[in-house]
Homo-oligomer: A and B are copies of this chain.
Amino acid sequence: MTTHDNDAFKPIATVDLAIFSLSPAGLSVLLVRRANAPFAGDRALPGGWVHIDEDADLEAAARRVLKEKTGVETPYLEQLQTTGSRSRDPRGWSISIVYIALLSADAVAKRQDLMAEEAEWRPIEGEGVGLSLAFDHASLLKEALARIRGKVEYSSLPGHLLPVRFTLSELQSVYETLLGRKLDKSAFRKRMAEADFLEPVEGEMRRASNRPAQMFRLKDAQSLVLFDRRI
């Protein structure tokens, strides 16, 4: 490594995650309580330094943080944006690469015991969580929500928040929750069929005395399918 670049002039680099799941209260985000200064005691998005001896690349760093906080290893993961300025962290010029992760309801339930102690799910209310967050994390969370809400309109994104197996009615219900409006059942099924990201699985579901529903799973649990048109 050459030394014409003095390390003292390098910005700080962190990876921060907006980790979402569905709770009974709707869409929720994982927050941690900061143990150390700055912003000790405040809530923040989970994150950490890029470990140049340990992380092969940025996505690996994001997966490491995710596993540390939730125990989950194979979520839907997407880079959102990068912010960097001299003022966002009192310790100096800092860069934050922000990732969005979506956890299936299964993963959340099964890995509850592996969740970091200082982490907690917090329901989304409007454009945030109704709490002030450390650093510029409130603004980062707002951006993440905008990205998610935008993609609901024309992608398979909500499928990543359900359990591995689900019915079309359940999927429609998640779309309706995230969109904040009702959808037509017939049109919804046509759209899902032509988008071609679901596959039927054996087994039925019956919660009451009614016709059982076909169950489906995502063809690819890690990738997003974009629709030709809005839902």
- Residues of chain A at the chain B interface (Cβ within 8 Å): 1-2, 5, 7-13, 49-53, 55-58, 79, 81-87, 91-93, 95, 97, 228-230
The 9 lowest CB-CB distance pairs between A and B, nearest first, are: A7-B7, A57-B85, A52-B93, A58-B84, A10-B10, A82-B82, A1-B92, A11-B13, A82-B97
Contact status of A95 and B97, CB under 8 A, knowing A11-B13, A52-B86, A81-B79: yes
| 23 interchain pairs, CB-CB under 8 A | A1-B91, A1-B92, A5-B12, A5-B49, A9-B49, A9-B52, A10-B11, A10-B12, A10-B13, A10-B52, A11-B13, A13-B13, A52-B86, A52-B93, A57-B83, A57-B84, A57-B85, A58-B84, A79-B81, A82-B82, A84-B97, A95-B97, A228-B230
Residue of B nearest to A94 (CB): B52
Given B13, B51, B56, B229, which contacts A85 in the complex, CB threshold below 8 Å? B56
Residue of B nearest to A13 (CB): B11
Q: How many copies does the complex hold?
A: 2
Residue of B nearest to A89 (CB): B1
Residue of B nearest to A37 (CB): B2
Q: Which residues of B contact A228 (CB under 8 A)?
A: 230
Given B2, B82, B92, B97, which contacts A91 in the complex, CB threshold below 8 Å? B2
How far does the alpha carbon of A50 sit from the alpha carbon of B5 in the complex, in Å?
A: 11
Q: Is the beta-carbon distance between B85 and A50 smaller than 8 angstroms? A: no
By CB atoms of chain B within 10 A, which of A1, A8, A10 has the most?
A: A10
User: Shortest beta-carbon distance, A179 to chain B, in Å?
Assistant: 16
User: Shortest beta-carbon distance, A38 to chain B, in Å?
Assistant: 9
Q: Which residues of B contact A91 (CB under 8 A)?
A: 1-2, 5
